[in-house]
Structure 1
Amino acid sequence: MPQSANRTVPVSAAGAKVAIGDIHLDAAQETAAELGVSAHRLDVSDPECLNAFLTEVTHELGPIDIFVSNAGIMWVGPFAEESNAVARAQIEVNLLGVINGIKAAAPAMVARGGGHLITVASAGSILPTPGEATYAATKHGVLGYLKAIRAELRGKGVRITSIMPGVVDTALAAGTSSGAAKLLTPAEVARSVVKSALRPRFEITVPGFIGPAVKVANLLPLAIRDRLFGAMVPNQLLARKNQRQDYEASFTATRR
């Protein structure tokens, strides 16, 4: 799917009432039928659509305790070859989508004095990723935004979590490499969302070693850091394969 589903709570198996939203309603309804949850159309780049989604879900299930932002799209290639339309689409979905969602969901949580905003960002939020320049910029932006929101909401009962997985086996990552880390499954990322809901932390990397490794690397001289990151982080310019063409064509078409 060009945009992955946004979920108001992680999974129904954890005892939560769940609603999911996606820009492709048919795909959301198919997933919802498998999970036994409800589905709604949701374009995260449209604030009015987000507000309507939250209104529908609140009417259906009650106040939203946990809001998970998970929509994302990615173009891979040399930065100079990326079209302005593709760059804009990634910013609208990956960064503004998170901003729109938090602006829509947070006020009611603040008013109630409790809630949890979980965003599935990317290890690209803290790593240099050749071939994914704009995507990485949006994910760095997401982490920076969440840091500021966390500071603003401190003491108001609303928790913030940024989950930063490596490469996940989805259409978004088709034709790319996972580098030194293993290729993750969607289920592994989902489990990290559930764990963060049960035991909140602000920054969570998947796999867990990425966070400490980056912190250590950032203490090193630049030349050594570059060599370390060069060994850890996949160069997607070298790794990318032709199977990305259909995926990237689909999300640019969706944004028109």
Structure 2
Amino acid sequence: MRPRPLAGRVVAVTGGACGIGRETARRLALAGARVAIGDRDAEAVRTAAGELPDGVAGFDLDVTDSASFTAFLAAVEDRWGPIDVLVNNAGVMWVGGFADEPESATARQLDVNLHGVIRGVKLAAPRMRERGRGHIVTIASAASKLSPPGEATYAASKHGVYGYLKGVRAELRGSGVRISVIMPGVVDTELAAGTATGAARLLGPADVARAVIAVIERPRFEVFLPGYVGPLAAWADVLPQRARDLLFRVLVPDQIRSVSGTSVRRAYESRNLSDTPGGE
């Protein structure tokens, strides 16, 4: 398949003020795309846009609010025309025992990670279908397939994202609208502060950004980082439950143990799992 050039394409990235979203925007802009980054931290997103290469603009966006998401997409189209690619990147994570998780943190993760993606797809995909072209790329997680102890709700939200996108992809078959889901392991961002990587190496935002660009240029549905995670999860599914449990205990980190007795996540969770602005 011949790569699709990025030059001149309009790309909207949610959660773009920092981390994976910011690095993805930077690399897309360097490749010639016109990039809109949206974030609920208005000051941070405009600062980021000013520090990134030419062709990046920052906009207010709260993915948990339909009016805000609608206004974001409209503002991007008013500036540059139809959106070619939507990158659903915004996400939040609480880490700890399931019984200790505050109800507000549970609700926030589901609202941002799952409902935010659903909201973006429902708002962007119909416009793309009318034009007969478009691409929605969603940053999910290896937790879509593997559920580390200490990330129960986060994993549930990412399981939900994977299931939702699989169904939407089937509905959009033949429409010209592509759906892709990227499932990285632990990435070195504030979202993952204090967590362990298990048997996998720690990824950087650049690893995910490169995967986003690659899947835009050569569309496919599933992308795992590292690449062996997908085949490993599929292979593990054919094992007896006892063997599967043993394998996952060896390979998948226990995040409760990783964060126990530390305060490294306190500032992040206070800022991102409440109603006060903050980015991933």
Counterpart selection for 1:72 from 65, 88, 91: 91
1:165 paired with 2:176, answer no
1:31 paired with 2:31, answer no
Shift of residue 252 of structure 1?
Answer: 2.6
Q: Distance in 1 between matches of 2:48 and 2:212?
A: 18
SS at match of 1:253: coil
Counterpart selection for 1:107 from 126, 134, 142: 126
What letter matches 1:185 in structure 2? G
Which residue of the partner structure matches residue 252 of structure 1?
Answer: 273
Which residue of the partner structure matches residue 152 of structure 1?
Answer: 171
CA contact (8 A) 2:189 2:205 kept: yes
Q: How many residues align?
A: 254
Shift of residue 255 of structure 1?
Answer: 5.5
Greater alpha carbon shift after TM alignment, 26-35 vs 100-109: 26-35
Q: Distance in 2 between matches of 1:200 and 1:43?
A: 27
- Higher RCO by CA contacts (8 Å cutoff, separation 6 or greater): 2
Q: Distance in 1 between matches of 2:273 and 2:224?
A: 29
Seq. identity, %: 52
Shift of residue 254 of structure 1?
Answer: 2.8
Shift of residue 211 of structure 1?
Answer: 0.8
Counterpart selection for 2:76 from 57, 64, 75: 57
Q: Distance in 2 between matches of 1:253 and 1:125?
A: 24
Shift of residue 32 of structure 1?
Answer: 1.2
Q: Distance in 2 between matches of 1:212 and 1:29?
A: 40
CA contact (8 A) 2:15 2:37 kept: no
Q: Distance in 1 between matches of 2:181 and 2:102?
A: 29
Counterpart selection for 1:214 from 223, 233, 236: 233
Q: Distance in 2 between matches of 1:60 and 1:66?
A: 15
Q: Distance in 1 between matches of 2:96 and 2:273?
A: 15
Greater alpha carbon shift after TM alignment, 48-57 vs 28-37: 28-37
CA contact (8 A) 2:94 2:273 kept: no
Counterpart selection for 1:226 from 221, 245, 258: 245
Counterpart selection for 1:21 from 38, 43, 53: 38
Q: Distance in 2 between matches of 1:84 and 1:253?
A: 11
Counterparts in 2 of 1:67-216, with a 5 A limit? 67-216=86-235
Greater alpha carbon shift after TM alignment, 68-77 vs 31-40: 31-40
Q: Distance in 2 between matches of 1:90 and 1:83?
A: 11
Which residue of the partner structure matches residue 4 of structure 2?
Answer: none
Let me know the Cα RMSD of the aligned residues. Answer: 1.6
TM value normalised by structure 2: 0.88
CA contact (8 A) 2:89 2:138 kept: yes
Q: Distance in 2 between matches of 1:115 and 1:54?
A: 14
CA contact (8 A) 2:149 2:253 kept: yes
Q: Distance in 1 between matches of 2:233 and 2:165?
A: 19
SS at match of 2:274: helix
CA contact (8 A) 1:89 1:255 kept: no
CA contact (8 A) 1:14 1:194 kept: no
Q: What is the CA deviation profile of residues 153-196 of structure 1, one whole-angstrom value per residue up to 9, with x for unaligned ones?
A: 01101000000000001110001101111111001110000000
TM value normalised by structure 1: 0.96
Which residue of the partner structure matches residue 4 of structure 1?
Answer: 15
CA contact (8 A) 2:184 2:225 kept: yes
Any unmatched runs of 5+ in structure 1? none
